[in-house]
Structure 1
Amino acid sequence: MASFRSRLALLLAVLCALTLTPATVAAGSAATGDSEGLVMPKAMGEGSTVTGWHIRSSAELAAGGARISQPDFGNSGWYPVAPRSTIVAGLVQNGHYPNLFHSTNMRDQVDRADFAVPWWYRTEFRAAGPERNTFLRIPGAVSRADVWLNGTPLGGVVGTYNAGEFDIGPLLRPGRNALAIRVHPSDPDRDFAISWLDWAQPAPDNNMGIWRDVRLVRTGPVTLLGSYVHTDLELPGMDSARLVAHAEVRNNSTWARNVVLRGRIGPHRLRKEVRLGAGETRTVAFPGVTVREPRVWWPAQLGEQPLYRLDLTAWTGYRLSDRDRTTFGVREVDSRLNESGDRQFLVNGKELQIRSAGWASDLLLRSRPERLRAQLGYVRDLGLNAIRLEGKLETPEFYEIADRTGIMLLTGWECCDKWEPWTSWGGEEWTAEDYPIARDSMAAQARVLRSHPSVIAFLIGSDIAPPEDVQRMYLAELEEAGWPNPVIPAAASRNAPEPLGPSGLKMEGPYDWVPPNYWYGNRFGAAFGFAGELSAGHSVPTVDSLRRMLSPEEREKLWRDPAAQQFHTGRGTPPFDNLELFSTALAQRYGAPTGLADYAEKAQLANYENTRAQFEAYARRMTAPRPATGLVYWMLNNAWPSLNWHLYDYYLNPGGAYFGAKKGNEALHVQYSYDDRSVVVVDRGSDPARGLAVRAEVYDLDGTLVHRSERHGVSVDSLDVTEVLTLPELSGLSDTYFVRLDLSRDGRELSRNTYWLSTRPDVPDWDESSWYHTPVSQYADLSGLGELPDAAIEVRARTGHAGTTVTLRNTSETIAPAVRATLRKPDGSRVLPVTWSDNYVSLWPGESVTLRASYQPRDAGGRPTVEVGGLNAVPTRG
């Protein structure tokens, strides 16, 4: 009898899928103005992305939504755009604004008044006719949208992250149907929009539009709105895990229904029968299942990132009504305040330091999955284990890539605008209308994020925690959505009321230049506690990127007049609208620049030493009396070509800051301490390291060996630090000198690290600190680097399918610090994106090193050429 029922159910499901599949028409060419897109779902339980969109300004149209959404209105004179496209992104796509990001083009070539009026989105599609339980889902709009279908208003969507759903089944017509969406102007101070704060010049339209997929979904009388799995991992042995699956189910009918829910996680089958009242939505928990020897998800550097899948179906009688699929990872995340009151994260029972950086989406919110993959590949290559997303909550691909690469995500809302009106610099105070928008935005994003193992927390505030009523509102929505992760009130410690109380994070700067030894201090952003955002400020790109982003006049101002305002520095407002602090320190420490190339070369060294010092200081104090439990480097990347805050530039070009951070975040790493001259070994991997040998050497500028210390039989535990030795105070050194460190096991090199230092140290003036900067009363003297004789570097390169291997050999009699290798295409441009095993390497006379560059062959445009240069390295190609 059971076998007969199973066969009958399968037959009915197939018939259901066949009879409910509407006729479809292939998508037309957007270039020709055809508007019919393949948008209707093909089968029960499936969804389709709405395509074939066109945009046009309301200032150019006399008609309203009732007319524009008629199938016979047409798209003549409209711009065809991608399914995810803000208004300006669509205009750029159509060539309306060529080279928008170069120089001041975004200011001079765009009339922002064009975006002070609403704009329209329009598309057409075919359907078989009215169909029950067909839903239009819009995942948010910047700043708000009104929706029409076939002349009928459906309602509105308000807020970037506030999803809306409309039952459009009764309105569908046989043949052509038309959908029109009117989006309204965006003001981050008044709307729940996206603000670029002081990160970048704002997009001309303030990102007005639809930037995530609009979808059409067909189901039966019962809809699966989502699903998730709570995992309870047995600790510390991790021999088993208890999995509890949940399904959010809605009865679309006007009468009660019996529903059978079936699920599967690998070999484990799930079943649950429920009765839903008319129009009822309920979250249903399945009986838990136990997985023996689970495949555990780990952050990068600590293990693998296996994913499980939950497959769900909902049945009414013997008819398939809907299906849903969710991937998840088996892992445990906890967060608590330690004895010092600092935030500490634990993953799978292990206390670990969060090494992260601040994320910036593309300024026009353009969705480019390949670019996202490249950037998260950079994050892993940098040795970071996390990213903070302050209000830029990205598209679904971002989270999927993070899941697969082991990059943890600290998600949350942004500061200083409508999302945080309780600050002195915030937007307008919330009205009665605003609370449900913020509440529903939280509910929608919790459902997007909750199943991703990469997501480890949500920060409901940024610079200041929300008041009690807003906290409780957000917490209620997170609980309703089955949120499994810690909730943190803010990325700062200021004003953290109940119920969440203190955040355990600090946000005391700096954001502009400070010397490398700043990070070893005991105040403000120095290495202790958990820093929600901080860095030494400006990161000057290489000359290639400077030429792409700046005009000749702007490039001259950059090195000749550092106090001059630059359009590509933040928002163009003080204190981050110029490079005066950075450039003054650069000239004082390395010597006055002689031209743009010299300025950029010295800037790479300055960025290298500072990012390395920041991550190394936090690493050394990982187990200090007041541990350094985490930091968010400000920032990882830029929304557009910028001179501010990045580890790699907008063109995905890694420079000195990148390789300094990469060096400082090695999984097994030997490093020097600026404060007490100690040499320590850091193990960020999953296993302890034994039988290590450490050699520390001090050299004069002319290459004379002044001191050598060695230690053998060194051990360091996983996620721990071991102090190995301390270099003595040495007299008679040259003003600029080198410290060289080597870590090895059985003669095999594991880590090498070179520092250029001064007998005249930087002296931070802590008492004169501001929220973004600590001045110095004395600069280090590194000008000797500019006096080094030219170094000849021999280059041998071999290119294969997996990339290019480069061997560099110093054939001169002088030290060559920070020798950089660059891959160039046949046309002379750089091969990007690219990851190097190492770069900006120091070579002693006669020494050689082999580097490996990995990239996609399609990005090389042919066989690449290797270019070598550096502060005193004679430019060479090989």
Structure 2
Amino acid sequence: MKNFLILLLISLPFFANAQQRYELNSGWVCANVKDVNANGSQISTKSFTINNWMAATVPGTILTTLLNNKKIPDPFYGINNERIDDVYKTGNAYYTYWFVKDFDEKAIGNEQVWLQFRGINYKADIFLNGKKINLTTIEGMHLRSHFNITKMLAANGKNRLAVIVHPPDFVGNPNGGQGGDGTIAKGLTTQYTAGWDWIQPTRDRNTGIWDKVTIEKTQSVNLQNPHVVTLVPGKRLAEGKQKPATVKVSVEVENPTSKAVSGTLLYQFAGQTIQKAVTIKANQKTEIGFDDLTVQNPKLWWPNGYGEQYLYDLKIKFISNATVFDEENLKVGIRQIDNIWNEQTRSMGAYVNGQKIFIKGGNWIISDAMLRFTDARYDAEVRYHKDMNLNLIRIWGGAILERPEFYNACDKYGLLVFQDFWFSGDCNGRWIDPMKKDDQWARRKYPDNHNLVLNAIEDQVKMIRNHASLAFWCGGNEITPPEDILQPLKNDILPRLDGTRILYDFSNSDEMSFNSIGGNGDGPYGIQNPLSFWANKTFPYNSEVGSVGVGDYESLERFIPKENMIAPQFKEKSDSVWDYHKYIGYDEYINPYGKAKDAKDFAMKAQLVNYDQYRALMEGFSSHMWEWYTGSIIWKTQNPWTAMRGQMYDYYLDPNACLYGLRKGSEPLHIMMNPIDSMVTVVNNGFKNLDNLMVQAKAYDMDGKEYFYSQVFNSIGASSARRFFPLNDFLKKLDKKEGVFVSLRLLNVEQKVLSDNLYWLPSKDGEYKGLQKMKSVLPKIEAVEKVKGKVLVTITNENNNPVAFFNRIALINASTGKRILPAFYDDNYISVLPGEHKIITVEYNGTEKTAVEVYGWNVERKRVEVN
């Protein structure tokens, strides 16, 4: 038997493979229910005329279809959203639509054909070739639907699918509250669509066939919901030979036929094959587990900044009579995640492969408020989080359990994921709120259908549980689910379907981060004095600490009409469009650089504030690593629409200075200066002690004159922060009344720069008077593309010049002058010291001819063609 199996596996490509899977993602049409005088049985027959129906976007929402057909204006631009009818006022029929798709498919012999919907919002009935598929109406946004349609297919293979989709029963009054009047949470749908303090209401509440529709063909057996667990005992290093790891695998096997099916169930992993002979009874679905697999010297998966993200291929197959009846393919990272309470900080500590990880995270809402998801966009957004030197993304509870494609990107780039379920303190009753329709006790019981929630949780856990990046479950945002949901979730569903990850009852619970300070256990959310991040102890593992995020002028131009490009002034009400897009005033921090002359000047100065704010945030938390904190999660790092707060890059994937300030402050090995006492400090997030380090400090005045201070040889321990020496006396002696630059560098004995950091200090009155008087610089700029998709930009500043300060590099289309988005810079908003140069690498996808635009605080905008 063993020799036959080996021969069979080698020969598999030459045997029949009946498994096929493809998406129904084009050729859909739709019509509003009011315009269709027929039922599903009639519409789903080929004789029914759909010639005049509108082209539909599937997967997608009603708004997406209407926008793509130019029936509505872009709701992300200006105040166009106010010109779109809201479902609360129109009634649900206005956004109730029939969707129709014709497709070719038939079953031959023992073939089975399966129709799968990965997400419909909110209720749906499905018809195929004149017959209704679903026995009961599909309900709930966060739930997959799976049907065997073999016997319903047309004999000639010409099929018609018709789906009627209804909005949520309770769409909520978008009255300006968090989640509107809160009743959006009575159903199992996205709460943010009724409006929040960072987004306007989504007018259709995301109604539609919003996620993928798939046809799968198998033989008599269908494999579903594989489950893979990896165990990595002990404390590991990222490199070198590893002790063994254990892999546990199981899979659900369904036989929908009237006869028992016998065969070999097997999986292949790391060059090994584990198999067993099985018989699946007629009309049976069962979960089958394999013997444990020991992997010798495994290649481990690590979070970003700590090691590689190695992913193994795992293939599960059911084989009978030399035919692959079905096959499931996965990417698996071998890693183990544990949590150990830190008594010093009184917060939970995250451990991966036995090593403690200082959490540097960002909060994520959803990739696109209108659910226009693509693999490329997910990849770009997660890569930006990697580029920020973050190691975790938290998925906020008012949106979705993120899609497998998002998790694929997190697996690839090493971002741990903290996944909330669908509850929020705002809608689900944590606080008294005059904007809410129901009182706290009524809201505490939302959603209305608790069994639906439990079914959805089971389904969605199965969908994403195999991803290496998925690290933590969370009951809800700032509140637990109702008790009859929480207890089954804790005591049955997660132990049974996962069993490897911690569940935090809610996002700022004491079990995660003991709240000894008072308040809500998270926040604050506005701009803060950078000193506060170093000086003021806050929650020891803060799930939400927020700040500002206005993009640069080119970003603002994409969604603010020209007539509204008015620089906001401190303590004055901002322009109506700025206000509509949720601007948080922070120009009191801009005024020290000189009151903004116009919107362009405002946006440039805002980037200085952005950079300083997020660098200080992560530096301050890192400086107290393991002493005050086990981690911090920024609220928030991305926007699913064109808002002006809490974003490191805009909706169009154009990064601003927040990203690069955060990237600098989050470096795995980082040199920094405490603004309270001027103490030069180095933080080492790595697993090894570092010896023979040179710590170098210099100062430059506004004319570029250099003042050298000190070099010391020293070491720093693994996963620690060390204070070296203060700069106060040195800076006082300089007595630069109009400000000074401080340059810090960490070098090894070969004088290779391991980390560098440049601060700009104000004059004694807190104003940046020196910066405002700086002489302009004309640096030499060169751009070369030796490898397609990778541009090297060199900026050289001559001796005796002032610092070439705060330069934005932008890769542009040489023909149109428009920025190429997304583009990934290994640094940006850079400063070049006198007599030095910097090389920045820019990566992008595309075939267009490119150029580079560079401009800075004292550097005029210059365009350079890429050679």
For normalisation by structure 1, the TM-score amounts to 0.86
CA 1:716 to 1:566, structure 2 compared with 1: closer, same or farther past 3 Å? Answer: farther
Offset, 1:3: 6.7
Offset, 1:660: 0.6
1:351 aligns with 2:327: no
CA 1:423 to 1:445, structure 2 compared with 1: closer, same or farther past 3 Å? Answer: farther
Percentage identity across paired residues of the two chains = 27
CA 1:179 to 1:647, structure 2 compared with 1: closer, same or farther past 3 Å? Answer: same
CA 1:423 to 1:325, structure 2 compared with 1: closer, same or farther past 3 Å? Answer: farther
Offset, 1:481: 2.1
Per-residue CA deviations over 1:462-514 (Å, capped at 9, x if unaligned) read 111234432222232223323532222222127x7xxx997999742111111
Contact 1:789–1:814 (Cα < 8 Å) also in 2 = yes
CA 1:784 to 1:392, structure 2 compared with 1: closer, same or farther past 3 Å? Answer: farther
1:400 aligns with 2:411: no
Contact 1:442–1:478 (Cα < 8 Å) also in 2 = no
2:478 maps to a residue whose letter is D
What RMSD, in angstroms, separates the aligned Cα atoms of the two structures? 3.2
| Alignment-derived partner of residue 694 in structure 2 | 693
Partners of 1:2 and 1:270 lie apart in 2 by 11
| Alignment-derived partner of residue 766 in structure 1 | none
More deviation in 217-226 or 1-10?
Answer: 1-10
CA 1:138 to 1:502, structure 2 compared with 1: closer, same or farther past 3 Å? Answer: farther
| Alignment-derived partner of residue 765 in structure 1 | none
| Alignment-derived partner of residue 612 in structure 2 | 609
Alignment match of 1:592 (pick from 581, 595, 618):
595
Partners of 1:59 and 1:50 lie apart in 2 by 25
| Alignment-derived partner of residue 524 in structure 2 | 510
Alignment match of 1:533 (pick from 532, 535, 544):
544
Offset, 1:706: 6.0
Partners of 1:579 and 1:406 lie apart in 2 by 32
More deviation in 254-263 or 816-825?
Answer: 254-263
Alignment match of 1:142 (pick from 100, 121, 129):
121
| Alignment-derived partner of residue 269 in structure 2 | 265
| Alignment-derived partner of residue 746 in structure 2 | 743
CA 1:294 to 1:172, structure 2 compared with 1: closer, same or farther past 3 Å? Answer: same
1:479 aligns with 2:475: no
CA 1:483 to 1:60, structure 2 compared with 1: closer, same or farther past 3 Å? Answer: farther
Contact 1:139–1:163 (Cα < 8 Å) also in 2 = yes
| Alignment-derived partner of residue 177 in structure 2 | none
Q: Which runs of no fewer than 5 residues in structure 1 stay unpaired?
A: 18-42, 762-779
Q: How does 1:434-453 map to 2 (within 5 A)?
A: 434-453=449-468
Q: How does 1:724-735 map to 2 (within 5 A)?
A: 724-729=724-729, 730-731=731-732, 732-735=735-738
Per-residue CA deviations over 1:706-738 (Å, capped at 9, x if unaligned) read 6723212x2223432222212224543415332
2:415 maps to a residue whose letter is I
Partners of 2:2 and 2:701 lie apart in 1 by 85
Per-residue CA deviations over 1:344-384 (Å, capped at 9, x if unaligned) read 10001000111111223112111222222222222222211
Q: How does 1:3-152 map to 2 (within 5 A)?
A: 44-51=18-25, 52-97=27-72, 99-108=74-83, 116-117=92-93, 118-128=96-106, 133-152=112-131
CA 1:276 to 1:718, structure 2 compared with 1: closer, same or farther past 3 Å? Answer: same
Partners of 1:439 and 1:650 lie apart in 2 by 33
CA 1:71 to 1:816, structure 2 compared with 1: closer, same or farther past 3 Å? Answer: same
Partners of 2:738 and 2:642 lie apart in 1 by 37
Contact 2:107–2:113 (Cα < 8 Å) also in 1 = no
| Alignment-derived partner of residue 817 in structure 1 | 805
Number of equivalent positions: 813
SS of structure 2 residue aligned to 1:623? coil
Partners of 2:863 and 2:151 lie apart in 1 by 68
| Alignment-derived partner of residue 489 in structure 1 | 505
| Alignment-derived partner of residue 565 in structure 2 | 555
| Alignment-derived partner of residue 376 in structure 2 | 370
SS of structure 2 residue aligned to 1:59? helix
CA 1:349 to 1:144, structure 2 compared with 1: closer, same or farther past 3 Å? Answer: same
| Alignment-derived partner of residue 844 in structure 2 | 855
Displaced runs of 4 or more, over 6 A: 1-15, 129-132, 316-319, 500-506
Contact 1:328–1:452 (Cα < 8 Å) also in 2 = yes
1:297 maps to a residue whose letter is W
SS of structure 1 residue aligned to 2:349? strand
Offset, 1:562: 5.2
| Alignment-derived partner of residue 534 in structure 2 | 520
Q: How does 1:359-438 map to 2 (within 5 A)?
A: 359=364, 360-390=366-396, 391-416=399-424, 420=428, 424=432, 428=443, 430=445, 434-438=449-453
Contact 1:9–1:319 (Cα < 8 Å) also in 2 = no
2:472 maps to a residue whose letter is A
CA 1:226 to 1:677, structure 2 compared with 1: closer, same or farther past 3 Å? Answer: same
SS of structure 1 residue aligned to 2:625? helix
| Alignment-derived partner of residue 177 in structure 1 | 159
| Alignment-derived partner of residue 34 in structure 1 | none
1:227 aligns with 2:237: no
Offset, 1:862: 0.8
CA 1:632 to 1:260, structure 2 compared with 1: closer, same or farther past 3 Å? Answer: same
1:457 aligns with 2:472: yes
| Alignment-derived partner of residue 805 in structure 1 | 792
CA 1:66 to 1:565, structure 2 compared with 1: closer, same or farther past 3 Å? Answer: farther
1:522 maps to a residue whose letter is N
1:327 aligns with 2:331: yes
Partners of 2:234 and 2:188 lie apart in 1 by 41
Per-residue CA deviations over 1:118-175 (Å, capped at 9, x if unaligned) read 1121111233369774332212211222212222222332222111222322222213
Partners of 1:363 and 1:308 lie apart in 2 by 33
CA 1:358 to 1:504, structure 2 compared with 1: closer, same or farther past 3 Å? Answer: farther
| Alignment-derived partner of residue 174 in structure 2 | none
Offset, 1:446: 0.9
| Alignment-derived partner of residue 629 in structure 1 | 630
2:674 maps to a residue whose letter is S
Alignment match of 1:192 (pick from 175, 188, 193):
188
| Alignment-derived partner of residue 820 in structure 2 | 831
Contact 1:815–1:843 (Cα < 8 Å) also in 2 = yes
Per-residue CA deviations over 1:758-805 (Å, capped at 9, x if unaligned) read 3658xxxxxxxxxxxxxxxxxx43344223233333323333335332
SS of structure 2 residue aligned to 1:584? coil
1:841 aligns with 2:830: yes
CA 1:134 to 1:610, structure 2 compared with 1: closer, same or farther past 3 Å? Answer: same
Contact 1:422–1:466 (Cα < 8 Å) also in 2 = no
Alignment match of 2:485 (pick from 470, 473, 484):
470
Per-residue CA deviations over 1:429-456 (Å, capped at 9, x if unaligned) read 5479611221121111111211111111
Contact 2:198–2:582 (Cα < 8 Å) also in 1 = no
Per-residue CA deviations over 1:10-64 (Å, capped at 9, x if unaligned) read 999989x5xxxxxxxxxxxxxxxxxxxxxxxxx6333332243222211221222
2:318 maps to a residue whose letter is A
Contact 2:425–2:479 (Cα < 8 Å) also in 1 = no
Q: How does 1:642-653 map to 2 (within 5 A)?
A: 642-653=643-654
| Alignment-derived partner of residue 159 in structure 1 | 140
More deviation in 342-351 or 721-730?
Answer: 721-730
Partners of 2:576 and 2:525 lie apart in 1 by 17
2:146 maps to a residue whose letter is E
Q: Which runs of no fewer than 5 residues in structure 2 stay unpaired?
A: 172-183, 237-241
Partners of 1:562 and 1:783 lie apart in 2 by 24
Partners of 1:490 and 1:742 lie apart in 2 by 41
Offset, 1:701: 4.2
| Alignment-derived partner of residue 774 in structure 2 | 788
SS of structure 1 residue aligned to 2:566? helix
Contact 1:139–1:214 (Cα < 8 Å) also in 2 = yes
Per-residue CA deviations over 1:649-698 (Å, capped at 9, x if unaligned) read 12222221111111112232211112222111222345443322111234
Offset, 1:9: 11
More deviation in 544-553 or 347-356?
Answer: 544-553
Contact 1:226–1:324 (Cα < 8 Å) also in 2 = no
| Alignment-derived partner of residue 862 in structure 2 | 876
